[in-house]
């Protein structure tokens, strides 16, 4: 599977972004609206993280097997460079601003607003509500965590699901 390929998994289109020692890094092409959280820009404590790693993850595990979705660490560095929120581990996440920059050439404009996991700043700096989002034209913008914006799950799959043809390229 080459970078940029589109595959279908559990009724969702996923774009292959990278192949690392951990596995195949993918982002969901389908976008649906959901709040980040009611009161925090800290992804580790957010409603969107809980949803992605429970309901959404369960559906994904049925499609590809729990063992084929790789747990990975998320660095929760704010847009202004503060590290107060630390790290967390997820099987399904949102992309960070730094990852968006890394994979930007493979992520064309969507015409929609969508969340990253990157807070604009942190609580000790007086900001508990603003989260960095990607605009319809691809630039960064700050948005309040309690608004409904696009969700694009981001995860790492075991290469075995691509080798076994359990998942096939569709575009």
**Nearest residue to 3 via CA among 19, 27, 22:** 19
Write down the pLDDT at residue 165. 64
Q: Is the dihedral of CA 115, 151, 5, 155 positive or negative?
A: positive
| Residue carrying structure tokens 């992309």 | 95
| DSSP-derived pairing of the beta strands 114-119 and 130-134 | antiparallel
The pLDDT value given to residue 166: 65
> What is the per-residue pLDDT across 58-109, written as a single tens digit (0 to 9) for each?
999 999 999 999 999 999 999 999 999 999 999 999 999 999 999 999 999 9
Q: How confident is the model at residue 164, as a pLDDT?
A: 72
């Amino acid at each position: 599977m080459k970078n940029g390929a589109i595959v279908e998994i559990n009724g969702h289109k996923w774009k292959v972004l990278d192949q690392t020692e951990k596995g195949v890094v993918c982002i969901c092409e389908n976008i649906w609206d959901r709040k980040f959280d009611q009161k925090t820009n800290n992804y580790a404590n957010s409603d969107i993280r809980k949803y992605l790693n429970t309901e959404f993850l369960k559906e994904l595990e049925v499609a590809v097997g729990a063992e084929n979705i790789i747990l990975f660490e998320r660095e929760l560095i704010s847009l202004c460079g503060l590290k107060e929120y630390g790290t967390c581990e997820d099987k399904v996440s949102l992309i960070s601003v730094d990852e968006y920059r890394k994979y930007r050439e493979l992520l064309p404009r969507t015409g929609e607003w969508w969340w990253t996991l990157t807070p604009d700043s942190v609580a000790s700096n007086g900001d508990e509500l603003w989260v960095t989002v990607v605009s319809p034209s691809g630039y960064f913008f700050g948005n309040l965590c309690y608004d409904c914006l696009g969700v694009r799950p981001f995860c790492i799959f075991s290469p075995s699901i691509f080798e076994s043809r359990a998942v096939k390229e569709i575009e």
